[in-house]
Amino acid sequence: MKRRATLRAVVALGAAAAVLPGGAWAQHAAVRVHRERSVVQRIEFDPSAPPPGMPKLTPPEAGVCNTTFELETGVSYAVEPLTASTVLITVGELDLTTRVMFDIYSVAGAPQRLREHEEAHRRIGEYYYRNAAAAAERIARALIGERFEGTGATEDAAQKNALEKVLVSIETDYMARTRDRSAAANVRFDAITNHGLEAIDASTAIARAVAVDPEPDPNRRRR
């Protein structure tokens, strides 16, 4: 039986399955990836009344750039029941959509130097997002034809368990290649700049922060 499930999540997993018509796999490419443009929101706030949902600041911070990487995954798969409580699913197609969002908070009337510091954090996130589609495609192609076993109280529960393993595998690998590297580079950037207190050019500090774990230039041809 061929089925399809879709996940849109940052951390939590969830899926809804629907039967695909026979022969549907042959009509499409096995892997489809869509990279959405980044979304940036800039918020000025009163330090005496920070907006709801704003990350907590750690002195000497007077602003913060909250970066969120998302991955939406659609999975088409074949189901092979092994027992009443165990199934084997085979990945047939994958549809992936990548997203990144930046919420930049800065104190109202903050100096330009602070604003540039938080924008630099955004630039680091953009840097590690620029090859997101290529990373997602590599991950997806490696999983086509792979099998995952699931167990549960019922066949449907077992199928959901197997599907969650597929989704966790994709998300873990993708976030390791994008979000986690961005977060590590941002930590290095703050160490280099002492959270914006050091008199160092933002672009220079960014270059030093990402040089430890550089991202390939998508415009550079491979030899």
What's the average pLDDT block by block, 10 residues per block, for the chain (223 residues)?
A: 45 32 56 97 91 82 91 94 95 96 92 91 97 97 96 95 96 97 96 87 96 86 52
Tokens of 63: 């602003």
pLDDT at 36: 97
User: What residues contact 2, with CB distance under 8 A and at least 6 apart?
Assistant: 19, 20, 21, 22, 24, 25, 76, 77, 78, 79, 92
pLDDT at 9: 38
pLDDT at 68: 96
Q: What is the C-alpha to C-alpha distance for residues 121 and 67, in angstroms, rounded to an integer?
A: 9
Give the global pTM.
Answer: 0.85
